[in-house]
Structure 1
Amino acid sequence: MLVKGFFAAYLILWIYLAFEPLDRFDWVLDNLLVFLLGPPFLYSARRFRFSDLSYILVIVYLMLCAIGAHWSYSFVPAGDWLKESFGLGRNHYDRIVHFSFGLLLAYPLKEWLERVAKVASPWPYFFSPLLLVAVSAIFECIEAIVVEMVNPDLGIIFLGAQGDIWDAQKDIIVALYGGALAMAAAHLAEVKPRRQNPDI
């Protein structure tokens, strides 16, 4: 029931933010993964169901992406507020989303590695953030290729580098930080009950 509530909230948010985005073409590009991967992900639930926690983590990440797509990431008001409040040199909302890519998706991936790929512990704790880093790097490459093929003039907005020549590398690094933090938290949460119940 809780997962359905989160999913309903995401759909409402997505539909609301689909109206009058900052740049419609950029919005379409930012939502390509939702259009391509959303239906297969929902269909796969018939064969493999993640835990409620994993579904909620994925939905929260998608909410962050929906907000970013509406304002082309570089112009999200929350990012502007952080920039002004802490004297930052850029709007860091896109970097928050990249960090969240690791933080919020590492646990669902770990769950998939354990239950479907049958990867023995403790390797899912290591493979999950590393796989997300690989996906993040591939995504950065795809972004650049898509922009060059579709609309090079849109590149400065879609890529969201904001003048930082190391933007792609930093995005990948923060995804690694997020994934590592998530796996550290998951490990602590799973080890603690075992210490309290040594017979388990």
Structure 2
Amino acid sequence: MLTNPNIPFSRNWLLHLMIVVFAVYWGFTAISPTDRIQWIMESILPVIVVFVLAFTYKVFRFSNTSYLLMFIFLCLHTYGAHYTYQGTPFDMWLKASYHTQRSYYDRVVHFAFGLFWGYPFRELLTRAAAQRGFWSYAIPAAVVFSCSACFEIIEMVAAFVAGQKGEAYVGLQGDCFDTQKDMGLGLIGAIISMGMLAWFHHRHRTDDDKPLKRH
């Protein structure tokens, strides 16, 4: 069920469960967020992602593995949006226990973006573009890196438009290399994800990674 993309929606109970859980979770985190304006800014992209996945479902249906990985990432992001990325309980614990000088939850989510979205990007590439071999692993990592760069540009625009709220949204926290580190962590996550998948396919020679027959 996890790897089969051909399950009819009416019988895909796992996808139903993920939709319901995320809707309830998102609604719960929308109640009294730490900063309402920043929550709205942080919530725009996940909402866009969900609508894109819904409207393109009949055109391209991901496997439940991909939906599960995207679901986990969206939950991590939604958690950060509720508390603002600089004030999560995770960061409060880090600061109290290890006396860290900055909040690191945003770095965790950037890494998770690469780790969890590499697989869906590769699935799209192998099924829609019939890409196989080395480039089927390298291109998803490059796409993750590009998406990370685009997000950082969006953050920059938000900082210009929203002023002080935008500066909090960017969350540099005094680190002039914050943007580069965030992008780098996304790339590292994607490389790890694709490396593990390539190793798995090499060991098991799954049908997904066998060379296409040429006629």
For normalisation by structure 1, the TM-score amounts to: 0.92
Matched AA of 1:190: H
Q: Which moved more, 1:31-40 or 1:170-179?
A: 31-40
Once the two structures are aligned, what percentage of the paired residues are identical?
32
| Contact 1:156–1:162 (8 Å) recurs in 2 | no
Match of 1:172 among 156, 165, 183: 183
Map Cα deviations across residues 87-130 of structure 1 (whole Å, 9 max, x no partner).
Answer: 32211001100000100000000010111122232212001111
Please report how far the alpha carbon of residue 66 of structure 1 lies from its aligned counterpart in structure 2 after TM superposition.
Answer: 0.6
* 2:115 maps to 1:103: yes
* 2:91 maps to 1:79: yes
Map Cα deviations across residues 121-178 of structure 1 (whole Å, 9 max, x no partner).
Answer: 22120011111111101110111112212x1111331111111111111000000110
> Which residue is 2:41 aligned to?
29
Match of 1:163 among 171, 174, 198: 174
* Alpha-carbon RMSD: 1.7
> Which residue is 1:147 aligned to?
159
> 1:6, 1:38 → 2: CA distance?
12
> 1:108, 1:83 → 2: CA distance?
34
> 1:100, 1:119 → 2: CA distance?
24
Counting only pairs closer than 5 Å after superposition, residues 11-50 of structure 1 correspond to structure 2 as: 11-50=23-62
Gaps of 5+ in 2: 1-12
> 1:86, 1:187 → 2: CA distance?
36
SS at match of 2:78: helix
For normalisation by structure 2, the TM-score amounts to: 0.85
> Which residue is 2:133 aligned to?
121
> Which residue is 1:57 aligned to?
69
Gaps of 5+ in 1: none
> 1:38, 1:194 → 2: CA distance?
33
> 2:141, 2:96 → 1: CA distance?
31
| Contact 2:91–2:103 (8 Å) recurs in 1 | yes
Please report how far the alpha carbon of residue 36 of structure 1 lies from its aligned counterpart in structure 2 after TM superposition.
Answer: 2.6
Matched AA of 2:156: A
Matched AA of 1:92: Y
Matched AA of 1:135: C
Q: After TM superposition, which residue ranges in structure 1, 4 or more long, deviate above 3 angstroms?
A: none
SS at match of 1:31: helix
| Contact 2:69–2:117 (8 Å) recurs in 1 | yes
Count of aligned positions:
195
Map Cα deviations across residues 17-66 of structure 1 (whole Å, 9 max, x no partner).
Answer: 00111111111111111233321211211121111110000010000111
> 1:187, 1:16 → 2: CA distance?
38
